[in-house]
């Protein structure tokens, strides 16, 4: 019986070899839509063997085909994103490079990272371990660029289950994790003493706090966390009006920019000090600031130099390339909506909160270490305002605008002294 020979067939869409009137052998096929072009081997009318499928936008696949599909070893390039993948299609081992410079080498399933693999991130972080449908899940080791290491269980790209975190500072936490945080640890700082604490210039006062878990229970087992306290004048609504535009220009011109808080408002820092000796000037009884009780997040890093090694239930944030859900930038709890001065307590060194203040001789309050879930800041005092303190200048401007709007016949006796109005505004 004579063997069937390949024949050459040239049409508007196909140029190449045929067998029994179907594409078979090597040939070039231009799809009717004009977007795809295939050059390579055919078998029984289907792409089969080695070939290159090109797209009009510059994307392409070059490698092995089986029964018309990309199957086996090959290289895929996406022109729109700049990503590239080389390895097995559609299941197997491969290498993936995306446009950001992240690389992955490991197992794939249906074109997703699935199984064991090594991911090198552009920022220097490295993950080696299990994957499930493009997410870190199972057991894995993450080496952060700052030197911190986490080894343990993962779920949905977060620490979840039994795991050990060795922080670059030397702190070690070993235990259970839930959604990226140590299980059962404190997550809130609650200021005690009621909604408002009235304080006076020149008179010492005390602020006490305790730590709470997410479900509102006191975290009496918390020890070693370092807290810092600072104060500030809260800024009211920032939407300018024609009559208040000058005020907002003044605020924008401040060297010290407003500082955001987790409670939905901004403030300008006010100097707070710790009494080292009895103040000679204890005259003014007028209240100048209030400390609002409320919640602040406690899952933040401890200031540099204040770490204690050892394990515990403290949640911690990581610097450098560590994930954002550990950096303490989470929503706070309740806060009153009225304006005024606010005392804010954080469990990290908020150098930005005091940025821009001139050096003075007022001793700043010492950081306090948590014992049995509680901490106390004693002998606090409001320092004298720095020269040209901008919030007071804003208040002066507001006073001028109020006076200009008063109806005729209103005498100056109906105005409160400026210092008293400032005090009432600050509550």
68-98 confidence digits (pLDDT tens): 888 888 888 888 878 888 877 766 678 888 8
CA–CA distance, 197 with 191 (Å, rounded to integer): 10
Q: Is the same domain home to 275 and 213?
A: yes
Query: What's the pTM?
Result: 0.45
Same domain? For 104 and 34 the reply is: yes
| Least confident segment among 162-171, 199-208, 229-238, 307-316 | 307-316
Among 138, 157, 182, the domain-final residue is 182
Any idea what the Cα angle at residue 84 is, between residues 79 and 87, rounded to 5°? 140
Within a domain: 95: yes
For residues 240 and 146, membership in a common domain is answered with no
Indicate if 272 and 372 belong to the same structural domain. yes
Residues 234 and 176 in one domain: no
* Domain presence at residue 1: no
pLDDT mean across residues, the chain: 72
Residue 242 lies in a domain: yes
Q: Are residues 169 and 76 in the same domain?
A: yes
pLDDT digits (tens, 9 = 90+) for 292-311: 333 444 444 344 444 333 33
Per the domain annotation, does 196 fall within a domain? yes
DSSP conformation class of 145: T
Which structural domain, as residue segments, surrounds residue 174?
A: 7-182
113-157 residue pLDDT tens: 888 899 999 999 999 999 998 899 999 999 999 999 999 999 999
pLDDT digits (tens, 9 = 90+) for 179-226: 888 877 777 888 887 767 888 888 899 999 998 887 788 888 888 888
> Do 216 and 170 reside in the same domain of the chain?
no
- What does the pLDDT read at residue 283? 45
Same domain, 163 and 223: no
Q: How many domains does the chain have?
A: 2
Comparing 50 with 322, which gets the higher pLDDT?
A: 50
Are 227 and 348 found together in one domain?
A: yes
Domain CATH number, residue 23: 2.60.450.20
Asked if residue 400 belongs to a domain, the reply is: no
Helix runs in 190-319, H state only: 245-252
Question: Are residues 151 and 36 part of one domain?
Answer: yes
Same domain, 242 and 371: yes
| CA quadruple 341, 346, 351, 353: dihedral, nearest 10 | -20
* In a domain? residue 415: no
Per-residue model confidence (pLDDT) at position 346:
54
Buried b (16+ CB within 10 A) or exposed e, 73-86: ebbbbbeeeebebb
Extract the tokens encoding 78. Answer: 């996406």
Q: Is residue 410 part of a domain?
A: no
Does the pLDDT at position 329 exceed 50? no
Domain assignment present for 340: yes
Is 54 a residue whose pLDDT tops 70? yes
Residue 335: predicted pLDDT = 43
State pLDDT tens for residues 245-275: 554 555 555 556 788 887 788 888 888 888 8
Task: State phi, psi for 35 to the nearest 5 degrees.
Answer: -85, -35
> How far is the C-alpha of 209 from the C-alpha of 191, rounded, in Å?
4
Q: Which of 103 and 285 is assigned the larger pLDDT?
A: 103
Q: Which of 142, 159, 182 is the last residue of a domain?
A: 182
Cβ-proximal residues to 393 (8 Å cutoff; 6+ apart), any chain: 250
278 and 297 housed in the same domain: yes
């Amino acid at each position: 019986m004579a063997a069937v020979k390949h024949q050459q067939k040239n049409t508007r869409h196909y140029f190449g070899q045929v067998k029994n009137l179907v594409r078979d052998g090597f040939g070039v096929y231009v799809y009717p839509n004009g977007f795809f072009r295939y050059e390579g081997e055919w078998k029984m009318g289907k792409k089969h063997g080695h070939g290159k499928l090109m797209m009009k936008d510059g994307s392409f696949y070059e490698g092995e085909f089986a029964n018309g599909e990309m199957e086996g070893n090959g290289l895929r390039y996406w022109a729109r994103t700049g990503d590239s993948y080389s390895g097995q299609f559609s299941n197997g081992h491969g290498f993936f490079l995306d446009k950001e410079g992240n690389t992955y080498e490991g197992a794939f399933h249906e074109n997703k990272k699935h199984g064991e693999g090594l991911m090198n991130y552009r920022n220097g972080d490295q993950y080696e371990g299990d994957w499930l449908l493009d997410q870190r899940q199972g057991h894995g080791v993450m080496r952060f660029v700052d030197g911190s290491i986490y080894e343990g269980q993962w779920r949905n790209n977060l620490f979840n289950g039994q795991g050990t975190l060795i922080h670059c500072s030397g702190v070690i936490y070993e235990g259970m994790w839930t959604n990226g945080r140590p299980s059962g640890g404190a997550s809130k700082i609650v200021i005690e003493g009621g909604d408002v604490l009235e304080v006076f210039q020149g008179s010492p006062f005390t602020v006490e706090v305790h730590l709470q878990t997410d479900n509102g229970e006191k975290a009496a087992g918390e020890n070693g966390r370092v807290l810092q306290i600072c104060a500030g004048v809260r800024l009211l609504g920032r939407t300018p009006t024609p009559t208040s535009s000058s005020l907002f220009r003044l605020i924008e011109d401040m060297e010290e920019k407003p500082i955001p808080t987790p409670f939905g408002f901004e403030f300008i820092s006010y100097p707070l000090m710790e009494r080292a000796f009895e103040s000679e000037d204890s005259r003014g009884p007028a209240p100048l600031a209030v400390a609002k009780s409320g919640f602040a997040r406690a899952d933040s890093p401890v200031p540099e130099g204040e770490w204690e090694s050892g394990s515990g239930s403290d949640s911690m944030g990581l610097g450098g390339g560590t994930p954002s859900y550990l950096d303490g930038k989470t929503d706070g709890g309740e806060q009153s909506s009225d304006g005024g001065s606010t005392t804010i307590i954080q469990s990290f060194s908020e150098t930005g909160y005091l940025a821009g203040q001139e050096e003075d001789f007022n001793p700043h309050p010492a950081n306090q270490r948590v014992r049995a879930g509680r901490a106390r800041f004693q002998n606090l005092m409001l320092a004298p305002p720095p020269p040209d303190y901008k919030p007071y200048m804003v208040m002066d401007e507001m006073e001028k605008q109020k006076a200009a709007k008063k109806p005729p016949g209103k005498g100056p006796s109906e105005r409160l002294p400026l210092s008293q109005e400032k005090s009432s505004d600050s509550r």
